[in-house]
Structure 1
Amino acid sequence: MTDPRARSVLVIGGGASGNAVTILLRRAGITVDLVEAKPDWNATTGSGITLQGNALRVLRELGVWEQVSASGFAFGSLGVTAPDGTVLFVADDIQTGGEDLPATLGMQRPQLQQILINAVRASGADVRLGITPDSLEQDADGVRVLFSDGTEGRYDLVVAADGLNSATRAAIGITDKPEPTGMAIWRIAAPRPEGLERTDLATGGPAYIAGYCPTSENTIYAYVVEGNRDRASLPPESYADEMRELAQGYGGFWPEIVKHIDDPAKVNYTWFHRLLVEGPWHRGRVVLVGDSAHCCPPTFAQGAAMSLEDALVLAELLTTRDDWDDQLFTDYQVRRMHRVRMVVDASCQLGQWHLDGVRDADVPGLTHRTLNALKELP
C-alpha cells in the first residue's frame, strides 16, 4: 500500500467536519494543510449545541471525548411542555451512540470548537487562518491551489469543508444550493436556572417552537423558532427585543431566561435551510464533506453529527485504500447518502408539519424510526 506519509491533503474550512478529517488523516501520517477564512477560527462564535450519541461516538474516536464530557452537560430525556410551562410528558432519549455514551450532551459551541482546535494543533497539521483558495487547477494526479495571500500549493486531494455556502462546491461545478425551509431560529446563551436539567420543547404560543438545552453546570442556550422574515427588516440592534418579545409568551423556566435576553450582540438569528447534493460529492480530486454537501434544520439536532460522520467515513476510506480514485469517492457518497437523506428529510418534515399546522402528525413515530436507525454505525 502507498505510504500515507507520501500523500498530502488540503482541508478548506475549520468547522466540525474539517477539523475532524484533519485529526483523523494526521493520525495516519498524511500531511494535512488546513485553511480557514475566519482569522479567529470561529472560536468565539455561537451559543450552544446539542450533541446526540452518534456525534459523541465520533468525538470519542477523535480522542476528545473526555474534554467534551467535562465541558458539557449530559442528559437522557426530552420534555414536551405547554406554552405556559406545564410538562405534558417526558420521553427517554434514544442512545444513538450506544449504551456506553449519554443519549444527549449539550455544550457551549465555542467550547467544542476550542477542543477541536486544540486537537488539530496537537495533530501537527499546518494551519493558516484568514486564508481562502483563489483557484483550483486539477490534473490526473492532484490539485494546484492558489491562495488569497499569494502563495500556492500542490495536493493529492482537496477536502471542501467550507460550509453551507461553500465557494469550493461552486468552483468545481456542483450547482446545488441551499434552500430556505420557511423557518428561522433565535438563539442565545444564558445562565442555567436551578432545576433545568434537560431539553424541554414547547409547541404553540407566539412561535412554532420554544426550547432550551443545558450546556454546562452553569449555562444553557435557549431558542425560539418562527417563520423566516426578511433579514433586511431586522436590524441587528433589534435582535434582543425581537427574541424577548417571542420568549415572553412562555412559562416555566422562560421568565428567568428572558431576564438575560438583553444584549442584541449575544442573540443569533438564522434561517433554516435544506441542502442535499444529489449527484456525486466530488469532482476529480476535490471532495465535499459536512455542510458543503448537506444541511438540514436543527429539529433533530443532527447537523453536527452528520458532518462528523462524514469525516469519519471519508478518513476511513482514505487511510485504508491504496487508490484515491473515483471509486473511493463514489463509495463514500453512496455509503453516506441514505443516512444523510433520512436525516435531512425527517428534519424538514418536522418543520413542515409546524408550518402546515398539522396537529395529528406522527412526531413520535418519525423520531423513533430516525433515531433508532442512527444507532447503526455510519
Structure 2
Amino acid sequence: MIVGAGVGGSFLALLLGRKGLRVVVVDANPGPGHRGADILKPRAIRLLAEHGLLDRLRSRGALQRDRIDFYHDGVSLLPYDFVEHTELGHYLVVPYVETVGTILEACAELPNVDVRFDSKIAAVTTAGATATEAILHNGARISARAFVDSSGSATPLRDLVRPHFDTLTYDHVLRMATVPLSSESDLRNRLYFGSTGWLAYFYPVTADSARIFLGVPRDQDARSHTGKYLNSLPVLYSFVPEADEAFRHLETAEFEPAPISAYTSKPYHHGNVILLGSSVFACHPMTGQGMSYSMEDAAVLTSILSEARDDLELSRLLDRHYETRRPAHERLVQYGDSLARSFHDKAAYLRAHDAVMHGGDL
C-alpha cells in the first residue's frame, strides 16, 4: 500500500505493478496534485526514458531546454549550459501535474494497480513492529505486506516510523505566479539575484505560459504584497534589467505562497512501514532535483520490495540499500542550502555553485 499519489508514490506504484505486485495507492486529494516542481533534470529524464514514459511526457507538451541564464544585480553572472556540464545535454520543463499525470496514466493500464483519490488513512493496526492493516476514513480496510508513506504530511503511518527531521529555515520566502507568454524572447529560463536579498526566476512552462517565482526577504514580505498582488516593482526593477519585458504581466499577476522545505528524516523506515519522497527529505528548490531523487528512491524501493521474501529480509534490505540513500539526500540538501544562503553575494554564490552537481547528471 502507498499513501500519496505524487511523483514518488505514483512512480513506485507503476514500477511495482509492472513487477506483478498488487498495489493500492490512496491520496487525500480529489485528484492529481497541481503544485510541485516543473523542472526535470537528466537523472529523472533517464528514468522516464528507461521505463517508457518519456515520449508520453513529451506528447503532453514538455519543453526541452539546454541553458539557464543567471544574473546578479542586473549583470550576467553565469550562463549555465547543460550541453557543457551534463552528458544528456538538456533538461525538461513541464507542469508538475503533467508529469504525475503521465505516470498515473501508465498505472491505469495495469489491472493490479488501484489508485484511490479522496481517500485518507484514519488508523493503522499493528502486530508488534509490523503494520498489518490500514483503515480508511470511509471504513474500508486494506491489508498489505508493506506500507509506504509518500504523502509528505503527518499520517498514522508516519507516526509509526517516528521520524526526526533536521529542518533548515531561511530568511526569505517564495511566491509563485503563472503568467502568459507573448514574446519569443521569453522562451528561455533565467534566474535573477539581487544583493538586496531578492530573487526572481522566470521560465516558460508551456507553449503559452510561464512561471515567475519571487524570493522575498521574510521581513519585507508583508509590505511587498497586497493580498496576492506585488506592490514592490521598483525593488524588482533594481536587479532585473529586463523587467519591463519579461515581467510585463507582473502588476496583474496573482502570487501564491510557495513553501520552502529543506530537511532530512531519520529513520527512513520502521518494520514494514517506509517513508518516501517528501516524507523522507526535501531540498531547497534552487537545486531543481527533488523529483529526480524521489524517483530514484522509488526505483531502489521497487527492487527491495520485489526481492524481500519476509519481514526480516525486508528490514535487512532497507537498512542496506535504502537507509544508505541518506548521504546522497543530505549532500543535495546541503548544496541547496549553500546556494540559498549565498545568492545575495555574487562571489559567495559562485564559490557555492558546483557545475557538475547543479546539472543533476551524477
Using structure 2 for the length normalisation, give the TM-score: 0.86
* Contact 1:165-1:177 within 8 A present in 2 as well: no
Post-superposition Cα deviations, 1:354-378, rounded to whole Å, max 9, x if no partner, equal: 4xx5442253664225247x534xx
Superposition deviation, residue 294 in structure 1 = 0.3
What code does the residue aligned with 2:158 have?
Answer: R
* Contact 2:134-2:142 within 8 A present in 1 as well: yes
Alpha-carbon distance in structure 1 between the residues aligned to 2:36 and 2:234:
19
* 1:41 partnered with 2:36: no
* Contact 1:16-1:113 within 8 A present in 2 as well: yes
Structure 1 stretches of at least 4 aligned residues deviating more than 6 Å after TM superposition: 234-237
Among 287, 293, 296, the alignment partner of 2:283 is 296
Superposition deviation, residue 329 in structure 1 = 1.3
Alpha-carbon distance in structure 2 between the residues aligned to 1:235 and 1:137:
49
Alpha-carbon distance in structure 2 between the residues aligned to 1:187 and 1:243:
15
Alpha-carbon distance in structure 2 between the residues aligned to 1:322 and 1:132:
29
* 1:375 partnered with 2:358: no
Q: Which residue of 2 aligns with 1:103?
A: 90
Q: Which residue of 2 aligns with 1:115?
A: 102
Q: Which residue of 1 aligns with 2:321?
A: 332
Q: Give SS of 1:46's match.
A: coil
* Contact 1:81-1:201 within 8 A present in 2 as well: yes
Q: Give SS of 1:195's match.
A: helix
What code does the residue aligned with 1:74 have?
Answer: Q
What code does the residue aligned with 1:78 have?
Answer: I
Gaps (5+ residues) in structure 1? 1-9
Task: Give the 3 Å change call, closer, same or farther, for CA 57–167 of structure 1 in structure 2.
Answer: farther
Task: Give the 3 Å change call, closer, same or farther, for CA 90–52 of structure 1 in structure 2.
Answer: same
Task: Give the 3 Å change call, closer, same or farther, for CA 133–281 of structure 1 in structure 2.
Answer: same
Task: Give the 3 Å change call, closer, same or farther, for CA 40–253 of structure 1 in structure 2.
Answer: farther
* 1:185 partnered with 2:171: no
Among 89, 112, 123, the alignment partner of 1:135 is 123
Task: Give the 3 Å change call, closer, same or farther, for CA 309–245 of structure 1 in structure 2.
Answer: farther
* Contact 2:268-2:275 within 8 A present in 1 as well: yes
Using structure 1 for the length normalisation, give the TM-score: 0.83
Q: Give SS of 2:105's match.
A: helix
What code does the residue aligned with 1:40 have?
Answer: G
Alpha-carbon distance in structure 1 between the residues aligned to 2:107 and 2:237:
41
* Contact 1:72-1:216 within 8 A present in 2 as well: yes
Q: Which residue of 1 aligns with 2:200?
A: 210
Count matched residues. Answer: 356
* 1:20 partnered with 2:6: no
Superposition deviation, residue 65 in structure 1 = 0.5
Superposition deviation, residue 137 in structure 1 = 1.9
Could you say what the CA RMSD is over the residues aligned between the two structures, in angstroms?
A: 3.0
Superposition deviation, residue 11 in structure 1 = 0.5
Alpha-carbon distance in structure 2 between the residues aligned to 1:226 and 1:157:
42
Superposition deviation, residue 32 in structure 1 = 0.4
Q: Which residue of 2 aligns with 1:228?
A: 218
Q: Which residue of 1 aligns with 2:347?
A: 360
Task: Give the 3 Å change call, closer, same or farther, for CA 243–163 of structure 1 in structure 2.
Answer: farther
Post-superposition Cα deviations, 1:61-104, rounded to whole Å, max 9, x if no partner, equal: 342101222321111122122444x54442312688x74x4521
* Contact 2:193-2:239 within 8 A present in 1 as well: no
Among 145, 150, 163, the alignment partner of 1:161 is 150
Post-superposition Cα deviations, 1:273-308, rounded to whole Å, max 9, x if no partner, equal: 22101x321111100011100011101111111111
Alpha-carbon distance in structure 2 between the residues aligned to 1:129 and 1:198:
36
Q: Give SS of 2:57's match.
A: helix
Identity %: 18
Superposition deviation, residue 345 in structure 1 = 0.6
Alpha-carbon distance in structure 2 between the residues aligned to 1:95 and 1:316:
33
Gaps (5+ residues) in structure 2? none
Alpha-carbon distance in structure 1 between the residues aligned to 2:36 and 2:268:
30
Counting only pairs closer than 5 Å after superposition, residues 51-70 of structure 1 correspond to structure 2 as: 51-70=40-59
Task: Give the 3 Å change call, closer, same or farther, for CA 31–187 of structure 1 in structure 2.
Answer: same
Alpha-carbon distance in structure 2 between the residues aligned to 1:228 and 1:122:
46
Post-superposition Cα deviations, 1:31-83, rounded to whole Å, max 9, x if no partner, equal: 000000001232xx238611111111222234210122232111112212244
